[in-house]
Structure 1
Amino acid sequence: MRAVLRFVDYTVVQDPAGERTWKARCVSGEEKDCGAESTVYGSDHAPTRWMAEHCKETGHERFQRIYEDYALVRKPEE
């Protein structure tokens, strides 16, 4: 039996119909992360403001920024 293998270069693109979301989590702390999280927002501006406010209130300076979106995988046009 013989097999023919064909390699296809797929392209991954952002799904324009999918929602994009941003949030932030405080990871400041010596032995344990603070763990405070912003709510989920539809842009990166609000989590940035949340991080600044949390820093002002607590002195915490280290955050994890979390971005999520949806992707589509496309085969090249034949």
Structure 2
Amino acid sequence: MTDQVHPACDTDRMEADVTAVIEACGGDPRTAIKALLVEQEILEQRIARLASALSFGYVRGSTGANRPDPARP
């Protein structure tokens, strides 16, 4: 029964978030969509930078997996 309660709460939270974004954009839904798309692009660029940095670390072999543990003799 509790599974049926959570979707309603999630929906209420989502609706509140949508309303907050639209209000933050002066009540204009089009401006809100543009702002969200810009934010999405920024986050995608950040993910790409982090992924490339992570990949570079693995290529260099500096993942930390091969380093000796100073606590072990």
More strand per residue: 1
In terms of Rg, which structure is larger?
2
Higher relative contact order (CA 8 A, sep 6+): 1
More helix per residue: 2
